[in-house]
Amino acid sequence: MERYRENSISTAAIVVMGSIILGRFTGFLRETVLSWKVGLSWVQDAYVAAFTVPDLVYVLLVGGTISAALVPFLSGKVEKGEERDGWIAASTFINVISLIIAVICACGMIFADKIIPVVAPGFTDSSPQTRELAVKLSRILFPSVFFIMMAGICNGVLNSYRKFTAAALGPSIYNLGCTLSIYLFADTDPESMAKAAGFVTLSAFVYFLIQLIFSFRKFRYYRPVLDLAGEGFRKLFGQAVPSLLNSTTAQLNTVISTAFVSMSAVEGSLAAFRNANTLWQMPHGIFAVGIGIAVLPSLSGKFATGEYEEYKTLLMKALTSVLFFAIPSAAGFLVLREQLVRAVFKWGGRFTEENVPFVAEILAFFCLAMITHSTVTIMNRAFYAAQDTRTPLAAGLVSVILNLALGYVFYRHTDLGAAGMALSYSLISLVNSFILLVLNVKKLKGIDAGELAAFLLRAVMSAAVMSAVLWGIREIVPYPGEKASQLVYLVLEIIAGCAVYLAMMLLLKSQEAIYLVNNIRRKLKM
């Protein structure tokens, strides 16, 4: 039975990661088309600033309350055979969140001219036209938050029932809609960008409708009620508030970064920062988020039923599995940063060769975050599954204070510009991951420090050898000039890097590498 559960979790993780790969690819397509159409210009800076606040609200309510509160609560009720009772509280929770997000969206549209100067204070004096466009775009984009949040609720319900495929495929549909909107309408004049933003909001509405169709049957116990006095709702709300505050800390870091980057004197800094951020999020989204989504219902179920040893085993497996992919990804991105930026964003148009090193420098400082933030993602879910949302909140508050301090230091005393905020993000993520690991060992004893250290030693050594091989290839083999040849060159480098890393991990007898190879062999035999 235990073997069946492990295989089902592995299968779920593979399904989710496969869907997320598609979602990340379509997200890259969206960002590539945006950079191709408008370049690293003041217009894209305005779009990034306008999208910051709606995105903040979405992550707070979807990433914070649904992932950390609704999914563990509802999946735990389903696991214990209390589905109908669980839906009484879940219905009230969904209704309250929907009302709150509707009010927030309305306020965001009304007060956009007051919000944008806070998010991007650098636009106020240096670029009033950028501020004016950002305000206009923000008002157009705010309604999309409501639709994406409703789609997020549908996805949360699907995840609670371990129906991962439909939930994971939805973002790809949204990204394709956004890509088409940007491709058809975006340009360097404000009116074109406003039209593109309007169709992005329409894409969010279509995304919600599709996810509602997929999840409709799972809402059979949903009721349009507001049972605020119910014990289940009070428990669910009690879990949601700390996780909401924890998500607030994460998004405050985004606002802090946006504010400091906007004060850079270099036009296109916000756009370059967004491009680099999009790139490093690729491996993080595929591995850390994918495995985290797949493992959260199982972790929650095991903790809810008192299977604490199984909870610890599953957590350790999830963490090492994520780091098995995150560590070589960080090393590879550092060595291949310019090739990656060129491959993803430079397709002619207004993104030029001169923009490549600008984005690549920022990406280099983000590389550490691939490892540390992946750790934070898994450890946050470990605490959420144990219905402890206060510990991640405390660690998040520390990161906000540290980010504000480091951002000020880098802005005032260095010439790093946008790259300084990428470095700040990596450093605060390192501190956050360390705090969560230490507190998990002390409170839940879910992590074996010795086992984790042994794994990290193997992975770092293997990634170092891989980096040396990639650097050698880059120095020996001439880099081609044509786009098609550049893509082939990059793909071959990635294949070579993966082969070297996997071979080294097998040589060092890594259980994760052995499991991966055996799993591939089983799939091929089938």
> Mind listing the pLDDT tens digit for each residue in 145-191?
889 888 888 888 887 777 766 666 777 888 889 899 998 988 888 88
| pLDDT value, residue 243 | 63
Most confidently modeled range among 32-36, 93-97, 256-260, 420-424: 420-424
pLDDT tens per residue, range 85-141:
788 888 888 888 888 888 988 998 999 888 888 888 877 666 788 889 999 999 999
Does 399 fall in a domain? Answer: yes
State pTM to two decimals: 0.75
Domain-embedded: residue 245: yes
Q: Which domain covers residue 247, as residue numbers? A: 2-447
Cα distances from 416 to residues 91, 110, 205, 361, 423, in angstroms, run 48, 36, 39, 9, 9
Instruction: Evaluate whether residue 465 is within a structural domain.
Output: no
Residues whose CB is less than 8 angstroms from the CB of residue 477 and which lie 6 or more positions away in sequence, other chains included: 489
**AA identity, residue 16:** V
Query: Is residue 484 a part of any domain in this protein?
Result: no
**Best CA proximity match to 270, nearest among 43, 29, 24, 33:** 43
Residue 37 within a domain? yes
Name the pLDDT band for 6 (thresholds 50, 70, 90): very low
- In total, how many domains does the chain have? 1
4 has pLDDT over 50: no
Other Cβ atoms closer than 10 A to 69: 27
Q: 18 or 194, which is more confident?
A: 194
- Take residue 219 and report the two structure tokens written for it: 């809402």
Is 143 part of any domain? yes
* Residue 469, pLDDT score: 95
- From CA 174, how far away is CA 418, in angstroms rounded? 28
Distance, in Å, from the CA atom of 110 to the CA atom of 22, rounded to the nearest integer, reads 36
Quote the tokens at residue 508. 């060092």
**Residue 191 counted as domain residue:** yes
Residue 495 lies in a domain: no
The lowest-confidence range among 216-220, 247-251, 463-467 is 247-251
- pLDDT given for residue 190 in this prediction: 86
Q: Residue 281 pLDDT > 70, yes or no?
A: yes
